[in-house]
Amino acid sequence: MEAKKTKKQSINIASGAITWKAIKKQKELVLLSIPFVAYVLLFCYVPLLGWIMAFQNYKPGLGFLHSKFIGLDKFKFLFVDNPDFLRVIRNTLAMGVINLVLSFAFAIAFALILNEVVHKAPKKFVQTVSYLPHFLSMIIVCGILQDVLSIDHGIVNEILVKLHVLKEPINFLTYKSLFWWIVGFTNVWKETGWNSIIYIAAITAINPDLYDSAAIDGAGRFRKMWHITLPGIKPTIFILLLINIGNVLNAGFEIQYLLTNGMVQSVSQTIDIYVLKFGISQCDYSLGTAAGIFKSVVSIILIFLANSAAKAAGEERLF
């Protein structure tokens, strides 16, 4: 303490150069950040050492040290020898994009609509009810879904038959053409309420004066929505979009895993399921790791692309 008081040097941090002096000056901050850096190193970077498996013919009995190096053979197996994996990538991307678009559209629309409800009590009620499915685990959601879509007196079949849309009940989960949409709309059902929270919060931060002045200019509800609310939450939308684009390949595991069956497996398998199937079930850890690496690399590329697109458009961005 004594020394610090006497030294009173001003260090120009903005210059960007990290000097010992700067570090000494901020030693409390540095100390405070050590646990977090250690956390990230330990749990996010050290496990990356496992990537070495992708370039070995890894056998748990031999370990890293004694397993044979095979170069890029596993990647070759994925992309050249095995047409399955390309189909798996297609499925993952398709479901990821469907999920992204649907979840954005529905969450924003829901937030806008809810914002128009004037009475507090029904608004709170609707909002709370809409969150609830988020807290159900996927296995329960899939159980509900199987009952709802069941050919054996499931409610969807009953309604469609009564409305004469269908002649007789059909087994929805066996149609390849429907699978992606079933997954997408299940996610909408489960997550719309939860995803809209952040938009509703952003909407409340919009200056109410804007609405009043728009009303004086003769703007109706839809004009206000279009010209004030949406632009008001645009930065939020962009940031979330950027974050979620990196997640496109995380199109899900549980729902596809739980709903799949032999007849739709060609459209239901995602990269995660593929990794589980080869990496864990067949004990080909190397192949599983290779598929995982591919997924990470694509995700990073997607994030960078989206970020620079946002930068070019002059919108909010991550970095």
Contact 249, 93 (CB under 8 A): yes
| Furthest C-alpha separation in the chain | 89
Q: By C-beta, is 245 or 287 nearer to another protein? A: 287
As a whole number of angstroms, the distance between CA 12 and CA 16 comes to 8
Secondary structure letter of residue 225 according to DSSP: I
Give me 94's structure tokens.
């398709």
Contact 269, 88 (CB under 8 A): yes
Select from 204, 261, 296, 308 the one that contacts another protein (CB under 8 A).
261
Report, in this order, helix, strand and coil percent for the chain, each rounded to 5: 75, 0, 20
Sequence-ordered list of residues with C-beta below 8 angstroms from that of 225, at least 6 positions apart, any chain: 112, 116
The total number of residues written for the chain in this structure: 319
Sign of the alpha-carbon torsion through 70, 74, 76, 80 = positive
CB of 106 to another protein, least distance (A): 27
- By CB under 8 A, the residues from 274 to 293 that bind another protein are 276, 279-285
Select from 156, 161, 263, 318 the one that contacts another protein (CB under 8 A).
263
Asked if 246 touches another protein (CB under 8 A), the answer is no
CB of 300 to another protein, least distance (A): 25
Binding mask 54-83 for another protein (x = CB under 8 A): -----xxxx---------------------
Asked if 52 touches another protein (CB under 8 A), the answer is no
Select from 150, 247, 299, 307 the one that contacts another protein (CB under 8 A).
150
Asked if 265 touches another protein (CB under 8 A), the answer is yes
CB of 216 to another protein, least distance (A): 59
From 26-34, 129-137, 219-227, 261-269, give the range in contact with another protein by CB under 8 A: 261-269
Nearest CA-CA partner of 201 in 246, 243, 235, 248: 235
Binding residues for another protein (CB under 8 A): 59-62, 146, 150-152, 169, 171, 173-174, 261-263, 265-266, 276, 279-285
